[in-house]
Amino acid sequence: MFKRRQLLHLMAALPILGLAACRGGQETSSDDCSPLLLTEDHDCALCGMSVTHHTGPKGQACLRDGRVLPFCSVTDMLSWAWQPESANAVRGLRVHDLSRTDWDQPSEDAWMDAVEAVYVVGHGRRGAMGHSPAPFSSRADAERFASRHGGRLLAFDELDWEIHKGAEPTGYEAHPHAH
């Protein structure tokens, strides 16, 4: 059941989702749903920002119809995927694996299944859309990131709207290398 605040966020996002659906040419079709090679020509399917011009892990949604949608951040990917009208269209979600790539310039060969990642939320690193959940394939890597930048570890199925919308930094002020 949606709370009033969640419903307001959802209603505010609907026009953006409509614009994203009308962007044309920004999605790429793929029968096997291989990750897109992100270039400066790719715009975020949710907000329209250039995907490659910002730091932080990116996301991709593989749709049942074979299209692959790029996102400038894990935040935007989750915001899009959790919409009721998007949920049935999603075949899979991918995120940059920060166990295998750098925050500032994520590598195009470091994608992983979003469901398998361990996420650090509430950390002090900023990406395209602020403090986006930081995905890792290795729990030990996630713990090292959290000890340096603050935050807490969660599995994909522990993420929800409340955590997602309230993912401001926690505890990173005590870590001198957080920025």
Model confidence band, residue 26 (pLDDT cutoffs 50, 70, 90) = very low
pLDDT value for 32: 62
pLDDT value for 165: 60
Q: What is the DSSP letter of 134?
A: E
Q: What is the mean pLDDT of residues 150-161?
A: 92
Q: Is the pLDDT of residue 77 over 90?
A: yes
Q: Is the pLDDT of residue 111 over 80?
A: yes
Q: Is the pLDDT of residue 1 over 70?
A: no
The 10s digit of each residue's pLDDT in 29-69 is: 444 678 888 888 899 899 988 888 889 999 999 999 999 99
Q: Is the pLDDT of residue 28 over 70?
A: no
**Rounded Cα–Cα distance for residues 18 and 3 (Å):** 23
Half-sphere exposure of 8 (CA within 13 A, CB side): 5
Model confidence band, residue 87 (pLDDT cutoffs 50, 70, 90) = confident
pTM for the full predicted model: 0.75
What is the average pLDDT score of the chain? 79
The 10s digit of each residue's pLDDT in 166-175 is: 555 544 333 3
**Rounded Cα–Cα distance for residues 108 and 39 (Å):** 10
Token pair 């900023």: residue: 126
Q: Under DSSP, is residue 110 helix (H, G, I), strand (E, B) or coil?
A: coil
- DSSP states of 27-92: SEE-SS-PPP---TT-B-TTT--BSTTS-S--EEEEETTSEEEEESSHHHHHHHHTSHHHHTTEEE
Q: What is the mean pLDDT of residues 97-109?
A: 95
